[in-house]
Amino acid sequence: MKKLDTLIIGLMLFSMFFGAGNLIFPPFLGAESGTSYWMAMSGFVLTGVGLPIVVLLAVSLVKGGAQTIGNRVHPVFSTIFMVVVYLSIGPFLAIPRNANVAYEMGVKPFLSESWNSTLSLFLYSVVFFFLVYVISLNPAKMEKYMGRWITPILLLSMVVLCVVGFVKLDTPLQTPSEAYQNGAFSKGFIEGYNTMDALAALAFGIVILNSIQQKGVREEKQLTKYTFKAGMIAGALLALVYVSIGWIGGKMAVNGSFENGADILSSASTLLLGQSGTALLGLIFTLACFTTVVGLTTACGQYFSKLIPKASYKSVVLVVTLVGFLLSNLGLNQILKISVPFLVTAYPLTIVLIILTFFNKFFKDSKKVYRSSILFTGVFAVISGLNAFGLDLGLIQTMRNILPLSSVGLEWIVPSLAGTGLGMALSKLTKKHAVVEQIDVKPS
């Protein structure tokens, strides 16, 4: 495969990852972390960039991708898990969220107060999702639209905003907020989860592998090699953007308090470039959200059309775009209330599955290890998910809270390690028992 092809696929992957959440979280981290910025951003990049690339690599290493990884636990688990992941990062959360944010940042600032916001959102959504549907119908051309055209425009817009910000914003970094005064790295590490790109990587892995195969690459080692290269290109660009807009957030902190990262970028663009800055930021958000929605729609189409043989790729894409369109007009707050608990549950399971994949050779694909580890992790992941629904679990909640790292949302780590250890012990005992039986049945 040519170097240019690798570059274009890497740019396409970047544009698929880079959505609303990727623009919102880094500036707010920068404003909150202050003089602890570099420690906090290092943690953020580790999980916001490093983890998704690791997931992509793991998917490329296993024939059959994420579905096969899940099958090592059980086929039923694998199907349920992947369906939850695709629906959560697809039509039930990420797709309508990105469409809403694109409208809020790209169109709403230019509308007069006399405009009916409900009607304007509806009209915008019609155009937005029609274009998503058209481009998603032909995944082969997605590389052309996103890698060659849209992503370069998006990157150029980001460069303009960041360069002007570096030149004009010369105020010193402020004192860190209370949350970042101690353990800035670990706080940034946890904040990197909020991009949810590790879950998205499970879905995008199929799209990237298909794009590479369309270039004539078929051998498994070569597929992994080019997936890694594309991932490194996307990861380098993501890290550069995160550091840049995070730095702008840190410099903007002196101008007052902000509700979120979008508020920071909006104020910064207006301060730096006036009305032109507002238009530039609107373009950035629109392109970033649009490319992410196209990537997620394509990934959902490819997955569900394989899962349900009677459903064609085009019909799945149509359903996904229609659901995304409807939910984006019903209100994002209600979607978040339903979807976030599923994400809170899926994320720990994803991390554990990926780690086990890289260490698979040490326990020789033992289902006992996978099942025990996932069982222990899943129990506490489900508890966290129910807690995110607002349910008070009483004694169970109390037990969860006394676990190490529960204060930072990582209470599942110790149980997952315990489950892995138990699974390895059971696997060894089973093998010893099998050896003993073979010895007993041998003729004397």
Task: Check which CATH number belongs to the domain holding 24 and give it.
Answer: 1.10.4160.10
Q: What amino acid is encoded at 250 in this protein?
A: G
344 found inside a domain:
no
CA torsion sign, 323 to 329 to 330 to 332? Answer: positive
367 found inside a domain:
yes
Q: At 214, is the secondary structure helix, strand, or coil?
A: coil
Compute CA distances 420 → 66, 334, 363, 412, whole Å: 20, 37, 10, 12
| Helix (H) or strand (E) segment spanning residue 114 | none
Distance between CA atoms of residues 41 and 243, nearest Å: 7
Are 382 and 310 contained in the same domain? Answer: no
Distance between CA atoms of residues 328 and 92, nearest Å: 9
Q: What pLDDT does 324 receive?
A: 92
Are 363 and 295 contained in the same domain? Answer: no
291 found inside a domain:
yes
Decide if 89 contacts 7 (C-beta within 8 A).
no
Are 63 and 117 contained in the same domain? Answer: yes
Decide if 87 contacts 258 (C-beta within 8 A).
no
Query: Which residue's structure tokens are 């290092």?
Result: 42
Measured CA angle at 340 (ends 109, 292), to 5 deg: 50
Phi, psi of 51 (to 5 degrees): -65, -45
Are 302 and 392 contained in the same domain? Answer: no
Measured CA angle at 179 (ends 176, 185), to 5 deg: 80
Are 59 and 200 contained in the same domain? Answer: yes
31 found inside a domain:
yes
Decide if 14 contacts 238 (C-beta within 8 A).
yes
CA torsion sign, 339 to 187 to 159 to 165? Answer: positive
Are 374 and 317 contained in the same domain? Answer: no
331 found inside a domain:
yes
* N residues, the chain: 444
Distance between CA atoms of residues 160 and 171, nearest Å: 19
Q: What amino acid is encoded at 333 in this protein?
A: N
- Token pair listed for 68: 């096969």
- Domain span holding position 439: 359-444
Are 139 and 230 contained in the same domain? Answer: yes
217 found inside a domain:
yes
The burial of 82, by beta-carbon neighbours within 10 Å (0-12 exposed, 13-18 middle, 19 or more buried), is given as: buried
What is the separation of C-alpha 327 from the centre of its chain, rounded to a whole number of angstroms? 20
Final residue before a domain boundary, out of 304, 339, 374? 339
Q: What pLDDT does 404 receive?
A: 84
Q: What pLDDT does 18 receive?
A: 82
Number of domains in the chain: 2
Are 417 and 335 contained in the same domain? Answer: no
Q: What pLDDT does 94 receive?
A: 84
Distance between CA atoms of residues 145 and 47, nearest Å: 28
Query: Which residue's structure tokens are 């949350």?
Result: 179
Decide if 246 contacts 27 (C-beta within 8 A).
yes
350 found inside a domain:
no
Nearest CA-CA partner of 338 in 96, 100, 103: 96
Are 335 and 366 contained in the same domain? Answer: no
Could you tell me where the DSSP H helices lie in 137-219? 139-142, 151-168, 178-181, 184-191, 197-213
Are 134 and 194 contained in the same domain? Answer: yes
Are 38 and 136 contained in the same domain? Answer: yes
Compute CA distances 353 → 176, 216, 426, whole Å: 35, 30, 19
Decide if 344 contacts 388 (C-beta within 8 A).
yes
Give the side-chain half-sphere CA count within 13 A for 40: 27
Distance between CA atoms of residues 340 and 385, nearest Å: 8
Are 58 and 122 contained in the same domain? Answer: yes
Provide the residue-wise pLDDT of the chain in tens; the chain has 444 residues: 788 888 888 888 888 888 877 888 899 999 999 999 999 999 999 989 998 999 888 888 887 778 888 888 999 999 988 888 888 888 888 898 888 888 888 888 888 777 777 788 899 999 999 999 998 988 666 666 666 677 788 888 888 888 998 888 888 889 998 889 888 888 898 788 778 788 888 877 777 887 888 888 878 788 888 888 999 999 999 999 999 999 999 999 888 888 778 888 888 888 888 888 888 888 888 888 888 898 889 889 988 998 898 999 999 999 999 999 998 887 656 666 666 677 778 878 888 998 898 888 888 778 899 999 999 998 888 888 888 777 777 788 777 788 887 776 678 889 999 999 999 888 888 766 655 555 655 554
What is the reported pTM?
Answer: 0.80
- Token pair listed for 313: 């790729």
Final residue before a domain boundary, out of 285, 309, 339? 339
Residues with Cβ within 8 Å of residue 343, at least 6 apart in sequence: 88, 89, 93, 196, 199
Decide if 180 contacts 35 (C-beta within 8 A).
no
227 found inside a domain:
yes
Q: What pLDDT does 333 receive?
A: 60
Decide if 48 contacts 195 (C-beta within 8 A).
yes
